[in-house]
A and B are shown apart, each in its own frame.
Chain A
């Protein structure tokens, strides 16, 4: 088991050699830790490097610090120690667990919110917002209010709001966990389609191993509190992926292997 490894970023045998270089790292996390004011260690010193264009998922039990790690990378939470670097000027977008829409704004105005805050011109906003809504299939709903949308559509709008920024880094904190399985699976496919067409780097936090394997080219497993990286799996399946992949033996085997690593991390 890789669970006993002392080096948090040491990769188990499943990891490929592709990530030895750091020249095109989109996210470089070095010895980042987080201790909360009450003394709780949320995250032990953690290092990892994510290449540009990768789709990396982080799985772990609740309270393992995976969201904390994502928030540190997003700049929302300061790290207690360590450094976190992203290339100069790379735009970041964050998608929360709930859609965090502003109920008094229409779909169109919600999709433009980040652009407004970032000071984009009106023409830019209109154009990017129309493109982003098109991308998530919400064209035609511009004048609706969020209360009229289903849970899945709200999350699509939340994605569109982030996509309108055309981010280089797309950070997602369990974005589909509140949705039913059918909606979640269709949004998984949408997200993969958008990711391959837009080419951003994705970091996706989830507690759903199957979702992580289906989406990612790499799955990082974290242990229960205090959180640390205990395994790093390559997902060898080629893109574009289709729902049939979920029914294959290789998919199940990899998911089982990751689940086992996850269990090892909990029982530690």
Chain B
């Protein structure tokens, strides 16, 4: 009854009778796209206002959004090649964090004593001040991209270990009983129960680590410097700062942000693809 009334109201207002489903779906997109868009416009507007009033005479402190965009446009080639370098490092750091982090979590999930002996060190990997151990890393791996990748790995690995372990250990007790009762071994239990059940947790960890791996790569570049080669965004940012080229600095920070965001979106998309058939986190609003 109530849906009928709403339908009549809609079509009455629009005159035509479009397929209702399409209308509903487009309304859904609009509803989810509007809020962040409004925030974006407001943010740019406020930024512009402040840059034109408070910092009108000191645009090296806060350039207007338009000069940032034009500086980015002028230096697009340079920013792009720096982004590619940082992307490579972050991707390598992220990939090794996935492989090593998940392997460590799988190992720890096998026995309580393994978890107890290894987990504190995983935590320490997270809490050790990376900047302080950087000299050691440089000593071991040299002033090059390898060190940057190691730092990216160190920053990105813990959420993967933590979430994967949590997921692997939170299998339902009755499910475990069911598997035990029907003579399922460790491997069958892992492949058919624990791993698929852990996927939502694993992707929660991956989403956090995706952004962290980019941050790690940039921190690494800060510390290691250009290392003789061209250098990624972290190197460029320091360089722009030393020249007081704030427009370029902002453009490069935006590029780094976009890179981390891209990582996040990619991982989220893969997660949604894998989980959409069954997990609440990946279900559409219409289901």
The chain A residues found within 8 Å of chain B, CB to CB, are 74-76, 92, 94, 96, 98, 100, 102-104, 113-114, 116-118, 145-147
Contacts and interface: CB of A to CB of B under 8 A. Distances in A.
Give chain B's interface secondary structure class.
Answer: helix
B90 to A, nearest CB: 30
A100 B181 contact: no
A117 to B, nearest CB: 4
B178 A96 contact: yes
B278 A117 contact: no
Interface residues of B, number: 21
Contacts of A74: 181
Given A117-B183, A117-B188, A103 B178 contact: no
Nearest to A161: B178
B175 A102 contact: yes
A103 B193 contact: no
B189 to A, nearest CB: 9
Interface in B172-187: 172, 174-175, 177-184
Interface of B: 172, 174-175, 177-184, 188, 192-193, 196-197, 199, 277-280
A3 B212 CA distance: 67
A114 B193 contact: no
A94 B181 CA distance: 8
A28 to B, nearest CB: 19
Nearest to B199: A104
Contacts of B192: 102, 113, 116-117
Contact of B178 (A94, A104, A145): A94
Given A96-B174, A117-B188, A145-B278, A102 B193 contact: yes
A104 B182 CA distance: 20
B170 to A, nearest CB: 13
Nearest to B177: A76
Contacts of A75: 181
A100 B172 contact: yes
A102 B184 CA distance: 15
A75 B192 CA distance: 21
A94 to B, nearest CB: 6
29 contacts: A75-B181, A76-B181, A94-B181, A96-B174, A100-B172, A100-B174, A100-B175, A102-B192, A102-B196, A102-B197, A103-B279, A104-B196, A104-B197, A104-B199, A104-B277, A104-B279, A113-B192, A114-B182, A116-B192, A117-B179, A117-B183, A117-B184, A117-B188, A117-B192, A118-B182, A118-B183, A145-B278, A147-B278, A147-B280
